[in-house]
Amino acid sequence: LPYGTLPNWRDAFIEYIQYGTEIENPWGYCLIYLDDNDIPELVEVSNSEAEGVVIVNYADGETKTTNLWRRGFTYIERGNLLNNGNGNMGYYYDKIYSIVDGEMKDIAMGEYEDEENSGTFDYKWNGKSVSESEYESKFAEIYDESKAVEGFNNEALMSAEEMIDELGYIYDETSEITSRDKTGEEFAEYLRNYIVGTWKEKESAIFERTLQFYDDGTYYCKESHDFMGDAEYWGTWKVTSEDGDVYFKSETTKVEADAKNFDFGLAKKIIKYNDIDETREKIQNGKFEIDDICRKAD
C-alpha cells in the first residue's frame, strides 16, 4: 500500500510517526477527540513556536495532516471545532477548523493587528474590517470558549516511542465489551484482527510473533527472529474467564503458511516487552495470557 493508506488508523498513525513526520524535532505527541467518532486525532507538537503543531486525522483509509500556526490551540472535544488562536509582535489571530468530509478545513478566520505599535488594534473577520465588539460577537457565534479545552499539556506529551506503544494498546469500546462474551467468539474476532507482538531482547535482537485465532479453538502463529530464523505452528486457545483471559499453547511446528489462508495483511499491534525471559517461560509452560501481549486502556 502507498504511504498513508493503511486500513487501520492505529497502524496509520504509527506509520506517520515513524516515517511521515512533518516536524523535524517533535517535542511530543498526544491524542484528542475532535469530531464525534471513536477515531482520535493525533497531535504532533514541535519544540519551537516556529514549527507549530500538526494535527493528523484519519479518514477513508488515509492520514491527512494540517499544520497549525505556532503551538497555541484549543478545541471543543467531540464538538468538531478547533481554534488555532495565537500570534506575536502585534499580530494575533483566531483560525477555526472543523473536520468536513474527512479533512480539516478552516471555516472562519479572525485577525487583529497593531501595525503602528500604538496599542490600538484593527480587526478583521474573514478578511473584512469589523469593530472589536463585532469581532468578539462573530467569534462567539461559532466557537463557545466555555466548552473549549487546551490542545495539549506539555508535561503529558508522549515521546514517539511512548505514543507507538499507546497506539498498540488501545482497545475499541466494542472490543472491550465483546472480550467479556462467555463464548469468546467475538473476542476471537478481535484477536484475529489486531494481535501482533513485537519486542526486543536484551541483546537488541528483534523477535516478532503474529497470531491469528479461529473460532474452533485453534490459532496459527508465525514467528520471525533476526538471528534464529522463522517458525510457523498451530496451537490451541481458550477463553478462561468472563473478563476475556485467553491462554494458548503450541501443538505442531513447521506447518504450511497457507493451510488456513492466514492473512498477513491484518492490522498490527506493536508491543514492547521488558522481560523477555519471563515471557519465554510463560510460553514454554503453555500459560501465555493474552494480557501479556495487550492491555485495556485505563
Q: What is the three-state SS of the chain?
A: CCCCCCCCHHHHHHHHHHHHCCCCCEEEEEEECCCCCCCCEEEEEECCCCCCEEEEEEECCEEEEEEECCCCCEEECCCCEEEEEEEECCEEEEEEEEEECCEEEEEEEEEEECCCCCCCCEEEECCEEECHHHHHHHHHHHCCHHHCEECCCHHHCECHHHHHHHHHHCCCHHHHHHCCCCCCHHHHHHHHHHCEEEEECCCCCEEEEEEEECCCCEEEEEEEECCCEEEEEEEEEEECCCCCCEEEEEEEECCCCCCCCCCCCCCCCCCCCCCHHHHHHHHHCCCCCHHHCCCCCC
Provide the residue type at 196 as one letter: V
Least confident of 90-94, 230-234, 268-272: 268-272
Name which residue leads in pLDDT, 249 or 122.
Answer: 122
What integer is the mean pLDDT of 90-118?
93
| Whole-number pLDDT of residue 142 | 97
Quote the pLDDT of residue 271: 30
pLDDT value of residue 210 = 61
Asked if the model's pLDDT at residue 184 lies above 60, the reply is: no
What pLDDT score was predicted for residue 135?
A: 96
C-alpha 153/C-alpha 46 separation (Å) is: 13
Give the pLDDT mean for 123-146.
96
**pLDDT higher than threshold 70 for residue 118:** yes
Mean pLDDT (the chain) is 70
Tell me the chain's radius of gyration from C-alpha atoms.
24
137 or 242, which is more confident: 137
In the prediction, which pLDDT does 136 show? 96
pLDDT tens-place string over residues 164-182:
877 864 433 333 323 333 2
What pLDDT shows up at residue 77?
Answer: 94
Question: Does residue 190 have a pLDDT over 70?
Answer: no
Residue bearing cell 497549525:
68
- Contacts with 19 (C-beta within 8 Å, 6 or more apart), sequence order: 3
Average pLDDT rounded to a whole number, residues 15-43: 90
Is 251 a residue whose pLDDT tops 70?
Answer: no
Q: For position 6, what pLDDT does the model report?
A: 53
> 68-77, 104-113, 185-194: lowest mean pLDDT where?
185-194
Residues 225-234: tens digit of each pLDDT: 544 456 666 6
Mean pLDDT throughout 119-140?
95
Query: What is the percent of the chain where pLDDT is above 90?
Result: 33
Residue 259 has pLDDT above 50, yes or no: no
CB-count exposure of residue 150 (10 Å: 0-12, 13-18, 19+): exposed
